[in-house]
Amino acid sequence: MNTQTIETDLHHRDTCRLCSSRNLELALALKNSPIADEYISRERLSEQQKKYPLDVFLCKDCGHAQHIDFVDASILFKNYNFKTASSPGLVRHFQQYAKDVVALFAIPAGEFVVEIGSNDGSLLKIFKERGYSVLGIDPARSIAETATTDGIETLPEFFTSHLAGQIKENRGAAAIICANNVYAHIDNMNDVTAGVKALLAPHGVFVFEVSYLVDTIEGRVFDTIYHEHVSYHSIEPLVQFFRKHGMEMVHAERISSKGGSIRCYVMHKGTRQVGASVNELIALEKAMRLREIKTFQHFATELDDVKSRLHDLLNQIKNDGGSIAGFGASSTVTTLIYHFELGRFLSYLIDDNPQKAGLFSPGLHIPVVHSDAIYERKPDCVVVLAWKYFEPISKRHQSYLADGGSFVVPLPELQVFGSAAGVSAAVAVE
C-alpha cells in the first residue's frame, strides 16, 4: 500500500462513501501521481508538484470501489478549465441524451431542469432550446460566469442539500436533475443525494452518467483512475444506496463514452416499476465477481504483464538508439505514465490540442508539443498514451507511419504498428 503524510489538501476517510461500513480492503494499488490534469507553464518549472495516493479500496459489505485518501475538491475543481463545447463528440452525445430522457419519461416542455456540474451549459442549452427552464450548478467559477453570460444561468457553487433547499424555495422542484461525469467526484454522496431527493419533483427523474467499473476491468481502462474521481461505480452498490435514500434506480444502460460508462435513471421510490435492465447489469457484475478482491488482483497482474512487455520493447528501441515520444496530454495520460513508469522513456509528449502545446506534464515536466512536431522531429517510436483514441490518431497521421515511424499502443493489448513491429516480434521471441 502506498503511504504519504496527510496534509490539509489531502483527506482520509475510514468508512465507505455509500454504506458507511468500515470493512474496507485494498483492491488495487496504483503508483502515486500528481493531480492528473495539472500541466504547467514554463514559468512554474521550478515547482515540485505533490504526488497523491491512487489506491482503490473495496467495501466488503456493499461492493463499492473507491479512494479513501483524496484531494480536496476545491483544489481540483475551482480552476477547472475543460469545456464541453470543445468536444464535438460530447455535444452530439448530449443531443441524443436529452432526446432519450424526454422520450423515456415524457417530461413536457416548460418543466424545470437542473444540472449538477453543468460545465459550460452545453447540455442545458439543448434542454432550453426544447422549451425547458434550466439552471446549472458548477464550482468552476470562470466557466460558470461564462455560461451565465451565454444565457445559461449557472451558480458557481458545489451542490449540497442546503443549496438544493434554496433552489427549491426560489425556483420550485425539478422534473429532471442531471449529473454527468460528476457523481464519481463527490466525497459526501449522502448529502448530495439527499439534496437531489429534496429538489426532485414527485414525478421527476435523476439522470447521471459515470464510468462503469465493469468496463474499467474488462477493457483495462485503469487510466480513468485519477484524483478527480473518488468512486468507481457499479450498479449493485448504487441500488442499495438509493434505496437507503428512499429512491429507486428504475433503468440503467451501458454507453460507450469515457471507455465505457453507465447512464442511470433514479426516481422517488414507488414512482415507476424497476426495469429489467437494472437486474441484468447486477447479474453481469455477479458473474464477473466484481465484489471479490481476487478479481482486482487478477486485473493488477494483467496490468503488470502489459507494463513488463512494454518496458522490454521500449528498452530495446532505446538500446538501438531510437527516439521515443508519447501521444496524448490528458488526465488519463498522467496515470498511465506514472503507473507504467514511462517517464524515463519519453522525450516529449505530442497532442493535437494547441492549448496543451508549450506546457509540461504533471510532476515529471515532460514537454508537450503540437502534433505537427511528429513530422518535424520524426521520432522513431510514438507510444499512444491516449490509446482509446488510437483509431482517429492513426488516421490523421498515416503519413508518419508511411515515412517509417511506429505507433505503440499499450492497451488493452500491447500492439505495434510500423517499423518497430519487427523489434516487438524479436522481443517477444527472446
Of 200, 203, 222, the residue nearest 411 (C-alpha):
222
C-alpha to C-alpha distance for 302 and 412, rounded to whole angstroms: 10
- The pLDDT of residue 126 is 95
Comma-separated ranges of CATH 3.40.50.720 domains in the chain? 310-429
Q: Are 364 and 335 contacting, i.e. CB atoms less than 8 angstroms apart? A: no
Q: What is the DSSP string of 37-66?
A: T--B-GGGTT-----B---EEEETTT--EE
| Listed residue (385, 382, 366) closest to 374, CA to CA | 382
Assess contact for 209 and 152: CB atoms under 8 A.
no
Within the chain, all domains assigned CATH 3.40.50.150 are found at 84-291
pLDDT of residue 74: 75
E strands, 174-236, where? 174-180, 200-211, 231-232
- Residue pointed to by grid coordinates 446549472: 136
**What string of pLDDT tens digits covers the 430 residues of the chain?**
444 434 568 899 999 999 999 999 999 999 999 999 999 999 999 988 999 999 999 999 999 999 999 988 777 765 555 555 555 577 788 899 999 999 999 999 999 999 999 998 999 999 999 999 999 999 988 899 999 999 999 999 999 999 999 999 999 999 999 999 899 999 999 999 999 999 999 999 999 999 999 999 999 999 999 999 999 999 999 999 999 999 999 999 999 887 899 999 999 999 999 999 999 999 999 999 999 999 999 999 999 999 999 999 999 999 999 999 999 999 999 999 999 999 999 999 999 888 899 999 999 999 999 999 999 999 999 999 999 999 999 999 999 999 999 999 999 999 999 876 666 655 554 4
What confidence score (pLDDT) does residue 335 get?
98
CATH of domain 84-291: 3.40.50.150
Q: Where are the beta strands (DSSP E) in 256-322?
A: 261-268
Q: What is the grid cell recorded at 11?
A: 483527506
Pair type for strands 133-137 and 56-59: unpaired
b/e code 25-55 from CB counts within 10 Å (16+ = b): eebbebebbbbbbbbbeeeeeeeebbbbbbb
Residues 418/420/421/426 CA torsion (nearest 10 deg)? 170
Rounded Cα distance between 410 and 406, Å, is 13
φ and ψ of 383, to 5 deg: -85, 120
Indicate the pTM of the whole model: 0.91
CATH architecture of 310-429: 3-Layer(aba) Sandwich (3.40)
